[in-house]
Amino acid sequence: MERVLRIFFVLFMSTVIITTLFAESKPVAFLEVSGKAIGDTQVYSEEIEEMYQYYLSYYGSFDKLFEEPYVRAYILNQILREKVINHLASLENISSEDFVEKYSSVSENDMKDYYNKNREELMEDEYVDLDYAVFPTQEQAQKFFDKASKEGFDKALETIENPEEVQYDSYDGLKKSETNEVFIDVLFGKYDSKLRIQYTENGNFVFFIRNHNDLSTFEKFQESPRYSEIEDSLGKEKLNSYIDSKIKSENIKINTSEDYLIWLDFVNGKDPRRILNEYLPKVFDKNKAISTNSTWLIAGVVSAIEDAKAYEEFKTEYQTSVSKLYSMGYKTFPVLSRMRQFDDSEKVKLEYNVELSKILLSYIKEGDIMSVLQYIYNNLAELEELTNSADKSTRLKATEYLYYIYKALGEDVAEDYYNSIINEEPSYQFELDVE
């Protein structure tokens, strides 16, 4: 199983961070040069917590072992990045804003070089800006088309008969790659007129193509939204490249705990093999026994083995690490799904399917059954198997979750499972309220 981390699309803005000094707190991390701390680069847990709560409000929740450490390390990395910028700017006696502008500046020649190297790929972003009207009959559409050809699209709209029967709107930046095949030719084909007509089963369309940009020249590229997007991206790459070079040449280091360091390595895209080489000795002794209780380190090693696709090579370390997390009380779905790879015991199978059921119930509640249909089949099959257990508590718990799933699916057989539980244990305490 490969570790899947959520991709963060929320931009981290330095203005959101409140860089208050916490006199009573010990810093989580700070920057140093040659072993000496750089002034005003301390990061406190309260700063990380503030942004972490912000991300929680956006995403809802994170797994405690395989997502939360990454998110917190991501936040720490961004805060430290800002502090590196402030430090480097102070060395040049300029403001951090001037520093960013100075080293992220992208010239027109830079953009031309990028365009020439990526022209074919960029042309896949061909797009149109258009106005359109949809009519209930072909006759109405043709009548409007003829009038618009003489008077213009906008004027023709003003004199439409029975406007309540007509849908009309505008759309800017409709990409060819995102357009239904039915409309590809009429919207992107070579026509003498900007006015187009198309009859379909879903309506009779008249289009007015205000702008068609195929990005076939640098000038057209400049007119497109992609220009500013790429200019911004190249600027960030340029700035980050310069900062990375200065971090190396100035020998700037991060002083923080190993818990954070391993996840900072993931955040910064360090090769998982190198992570394993560095942290395996800090998690395992010479006899391959775990020598730490740090859940972040143990989970980090599990993630590195998965990312390196080195399960067979580090099978003992992997299984020992996952089992350790399980024994420490982390019986979450991410841990249980990993346990199932090598532990098929009745206890683990039940715990896994109970957690899986809870996830599936949320999908069913949202009406998104098809995307998890195979998981539902497997879940029901394994729970059914567990109803034959010699252990009463296992038998009843499996039956309970069969009841929940079938009831959520609207199946009458759900009541049979409910009655089976009550008949065997009249005072049985159900875990979920599904009424």
Q: What is the pLDDT of residue 34?
A: 87
Q: What's the pLDDT at 333?
A: 97
For the chain, what is the largest distance between any 2 Cα atoms, rounded to a whole number of angstroms? Answer: 87
CA-wise closest residue to 231 among 401, 239, 410? 239
Q: Where are the domains of the chain?
A: 1-120+220-269, 127-213, 270-343, 346-435
Specify the pLDDT at position 161.
Answer: 84
Among 359, 360, 339, 356, which Cα is nearest to 348's? Answer: 339
Euclidean distance between CA atoms 84 and 249, whole angstroms: 13
The pLDDT of residue 360: 98
**Which pLDDT score, from 0 to 100, does residue 11 have?**
31
Here the tokens at position 107 are 């010239």
Residue 31: which H helix or E strand, with range?
strand 29-33
pTM value is 0.79
Task: Give Rg (Cα) of the chain.
Answer: 30
Distance, CA of 376 to CA of 361 (rounded, Å)? 9
- CB burial readout 79-97, b (16+ within 10 A) else e: bbbbbbbbbbbeeeeeebe
The predicted pLDDT at position 435 comes to 65
Pick the CATH number of 127-213 from 3.30.1490, 3.40.1130, 2.30.30, 3.10.50: 3.10.50
Low-confidence ranges of the chain (pLDDT < 70): 1-24, 435
Length, in residues, of the chain: 435
- The owner of tokens 């804003």 is 97
Interior angle at CA 320, CA 315 and CA 322, nearest 5: 100
206 touches 197 (CB < 8 A): yes
Q: Which two structure tokens, joined as six digits, stand for 91? A: 């060395």
Helix (H) or strand (E) holding 127: strand 127-135
**φ and ψ of 33, to 5 deg:** -125, 120
Q: Please compute, for residue 5, the number of CA atoms within 13 A of its CA located in the half-sphere on the CB side.
A: 23
Q: Which long-range contacts (CB under 8 A, 24 or more apart) does 391-394 make?
A: 391/346, 392/424, 392/425, 394/346, 394/347, 394/350
Task: Report how far residue 80's alpha carbon sits from residue 186's, in angstroms, rounded to the nearest whole number.
Answer: 52
